[in-house]
Structure 1
Amino acid sequence: MRGCILDVGSGLGNIAKYFNTENIDKVILSGRTEEMYLQLKNRFSHSEKCAIIHMDITDERCIKMLSSYRINVVTCLNVLGHIKDDVKALANMHRILGKKGILLPR
């Protein structure tokens, strides 16, 4: 599979380290707060396969921010319970994905 994985609410990146990047173009890790973004950047900025972004999945601007990536998979693990407008978050994840994209919420 070619394309990208977007991990919404990556936290410290504990789950992202298990992604097999051999057959994908990029793993996009996201942090909503400045603190989480900086921690991800410190931990993963050395990896050519990782992009670190500071975004709020409920904000419409994230769709434009991610438009240059061909995102095939969106993961959202242990995050939805922490988002006030989870319906908006899911709608934006759906808009970010390609037609045959896969959403993996938990």
Structure 2
Amino acid sequence: MAEPSLPTGMQTMSPAMAEMRAYPRYLYDQVAGCFGDRVWEIGVGYGTYTTWLREANKSVLATDIDAECLNAVAKRFAGDDQVTTAIVDLTDESTVKVQRKYLADSILCLNVLEHIQDDVQALMWIRENVAANAVMGLIVPAHQALFGRMDAEAGHFRRYTRKSLTSVFQQAGWQVDQTRYLNLLGAAGWWYHNRLRKDAGLNDRSVNHQMRGADRWLPRIASVTDPLTGWLAGLSVLAIARVK
């Protein structure tokens, strides 16, 4: 009997994510400072980050495992010769290798690595197929103690700590410049819905209602708390790493 396929694309997200702008922008801004001119975006989703990269005059290799997401982004940027789209499956080396010709000097990878069972191998393949000294800005879910139903529904294999994420990068041959946690208050909300309630899934009405509301104020709170608690805990963990 064949194993069920893992969720991809919109299946990995709460519906409210399609309407959120301030929180995705907050995440993007945490890593945007490390980008050069040629950015490989791994996991395009709704194309939100692609738009911001183009507004910053970056050339973008927009990739995803999900054809529906990728087709939507390709349609949105049709006629823009600075956006290239391609299917990339981080469990299939051939789809990663073919991107070598792009010579990306930067990689944007937000909330993708947790979906990959062999995360070390995926990071190794990426490292082998980018420009020398390329830099990656990556964000993943933090703290395995927060893992619950919503993680399982989204197809997450794990959540990370600063220590475990550093170890994964180093095993894959990367040099880690920094790690820090983001959004401590968001971790409390995730714990409530994902661990205390336990019955809240990605499509839960109250979860999505709160996400829409939090999009308006949570980034402002995180901008105050992150400098104080980035060493300790958060909903997400960030890493900036470079090819050695």
Fold conserved between structures, TM > 0.5:
yes
Question: What is the percentage of aligned positions where both structures have the same residue?
Answer: 24
Superposition TM-score, scaled by structure 1 size = 0.83
> What's the CA shift for 1:83?
2.1
- SS of aligned partner of 2:124: helix
Give the corresponding residue for 1:14: 48
| Structure 2 spans left out of the alignment, 5+ residues | 1-34, 140-244
Instruction: Kindly state the Cα deviation for residue 45 of structure 1 after the two structures are TM-superposed.
Output: 2.3
Q: Which has the higher helix share?
A: 2
1:37 aligns with 2:70: yes
Please show how residues 23-62 of structure 1 align to structure 2 within 5 Å: 24=58, 26-62=59-95
Higher relative contact order (CA 8 A, sep 6+): 1
Cα distance between partner residues in 1 of 2:100 and 2:52? 25
1:3 Cα deviation (Å)? 5.0
Cα distance in structure 2, aligned partners of 1:15 and 1:3? 15
The alignment status of 1:66 with 2:99, answered yes or no, reads yes
Q: Deviations over 1:69-100 (max 9, x none)?
A: 12100110111122222222211121122221
Judging changes above 3 Å, is the alpha-carbon distance between structure 1 residues 82 and 3 closer, same or farther for their aligned structure 2 residues?
A: same
Partner of 2:126: 93
Q: Distance in 2 between matches of 1:104 and 1:37?
A: 21
Find runs of 4+ consecutive structure 1 residues off by over 6 angstroms: none
Structure 1 residue 50, shift from structure 2 partner: 0.2
CA distance in 2, matches of 1:58, 1:3: 27
Shift of 1:63: 3.5
Residue 29 of structure 1 contacts residue 50 of structure 1 at CA under 8 Å; is this kept in 2? yes
**How many residue pairs get matched?**
103
Question: Secondary structure of the equivalent of 1:67?
Answer: helix
Contact 2:39 2:106 in 1 (8 A): yes
Q: Which amino acid aligns with 2:72?
A: Q
| Structure 2 residue 112 is matched with structure 1 residue 79 | yes
CA RMSD, 1 decimal: 1.9
Q: TM-score, normalization: structure 2?
A: 0.39
**Per the alignment, do residues 62 and 14 of structure 1 end up closer, same or farther by CA in structure 2, a change over 3 Å counting?**
same
More strand by share: 1
